[in-house]
Amino acid sequence: MAHAADFIKDLIRIYLGKRVSRSAAELSYFLTLSVFPTLMCVYALVSEFIPTSGIIEDVLRGIVPMETIRTIEDYLLYVSVYSGRQMLTAGAILMATSSAAAFRALHNIMADIQGAPRYHGFRSVIASFAFSLVFLAAMYFTVVVILTGEWFLRILDEYVPVAWDWSWLRFVLLFAILLLILLGVYHLTSPRGKKSALLPGAVLAAAAMVAVGVAFSAMVSMSVRYSLVYGSLASLIILMLWLYIFGNILIMGNAVNFLLGEYRAGRRS
């Protein structure tokens, strides 16, 4: 019990001492800039063979606030009508630069927590742009898996007649996808030559993201006054707040991994 209390105290010290909240806000800003260009790039890749109209709400309902879902759907509708080579090129450039900036912000805070960066100097810039390609591939994989999930369950039900319920299986699928992404992010931001467990923090962070996403979506759906306060900016503010919360969880998940490594090495009592 005493060790658990010390562990929580150390987590709080890291959160306050390393200014995790500020880093999460920086991460939220750059991720917000990268969301819509990334959606444009992913849409250009999947729209020809996967219909996205009407599916976005079915998949994200209960996880993402409805205001944000409607904004995404309106944006995809606009892209489907007015997209062109110039817009796609501009979107790809903005996605690469903003997601690269998000990776550098994440890399810096992880280095502060773990005591050493993984990349130094110009290599960190190269790694950040390489990460933007990985980020796009991860989002593409996520969209394809989620959009085809219900279709796959219908086929599976023909061979294994079990009461497959997409309404709750999508949360399990989301958890699995988040877990894979978090493991990759934690590995890419961990110092070279330093062995540390990645799974405990990734599991806790993925579970927290799903749970907080559901709770935050429910809280926003029950409130009708935020649109009166923020007006037409409400959906953008909600998206940034949602990403800010997830940024905190993402960073603290790796803080859990770091502390577990410190305790196992006997550097903390």
Could you read off the pLDDT of 98-110 as tens digits, one per residue?
888 888 888 889 9
Give residue 147's pLDDT.
58
Distances (CA, A) of 201 to 13, 196, 253: 17, 11, 4
How many Cα atoms occupy the beta-carbon half-sphere of 267 within 13 Å?
Answer: 7
The answer on pLDDT for 211 being more than 60 is: yes
Give the phi and the psi of residue 64 in degrees, each rounded to 5: -110, 140
Using 50, 70 and 90 to split pLDDT, how confident is the model at 252?
very high
- When pLDDT is cut at 50, 70 and 90, the band that residue 32 belongs to is confident
The number of C-alpha atoms within 13 Å of 20 and in the hemisphere containing its C-beta is 21
Mean local confidence (pLDDT), 242-251:
90
> Residue 249: what pLDDT?
93
CA distance 199 to 182: 9
**Buried/exposed 133-167: b ≥16 CB within 10 Å, e otherwise:** ebbbebbeebbeebbebbeebeeeeeeeeeeeebe
pTM for the full model? 0.78
Model confidence at 111: pLDDT above 80? yes
Average pLDDT over residues 104-123: 86
pLDDT band at residue 230, thresholds of 50, 70 and 90? low
The pLDDT value given to residue 90: 77
Q: Give tens-digit pLDDT for 45-97.
A: 666 555 555 556 665 666 666 767 777 777 777 776 766 677 777 777 887 88
CA 225 vs. chain centroid, Å, equals: 27
